[in-house]
Amino acid sequence: MTPAEAFAAIPLAAVCCDNNFDREEAHVLKEQLISRSPYRSMTPLAFGELIDGLLRLFRRDHWQELVRQAVPALTAEQQEVAYVLAVKLAFCDRVVKPEEEAFLSTLASELSLPPGRTAQIQEVFALLQRDVLA
């Protein structure tokens, strides 16, 4: 897996881990990826082929295999940002489902991040999603 495939695989797995790839999550995923190198220089066809290939892997092997293949292809910094995107996608509908919690926990254990870093990232997103004026 190339670094570009691996980086996209992590947030894609976050979106697919609950077997519910909704429109809002798809929009946030695409928006977050195409604003970054190398995806912003891809043609729409090439970007679509990249995502389709990762979705085929997901359907064949499930998200655990996507993560297993993706993590070693990324530097620690790339892993951290990919984790941030995964958390953002899990929180984007304001409800983190048990499947998403399990995904984030499993992903966190696979990454080469300092102890406690993934918990900090999740805390920030939980704060950002809190509806304090309701």
In tens, the pLDDT along 19-31 reads 877 787 888 899 9
Distance, in Å, from the CA atom of 122 to the CA atom of 90, rounded to the nearest integer, reads 10
> Residue 131: helix, strand or coil by DSSP?
coil
| Mean of pLDDT over the chain | 93
Assigned token pair, 5: 């495939």
Query: Per-residue pLDDT averaged across 125-131, rounded?
Result: 88
- The residue assigned the tokens 């996209």 is 8
Per residue in 65-83, pLDDT (tens digit) is 999 999 999 999 999 999 9
**Tokens, residue 18:** 């609950």
Cα–Cα dist 54/89, whole Å: 17
Q: pLDDT above 90 covers what percent of the chain?
A: 79
One-letter amino acid at 102 equals A
Measure the CA–CA gap between 3 and 111, rounded to whole angstroms: 15
pLDDT score recorded for residue 81: 97
CA distance 47 to 5: 10
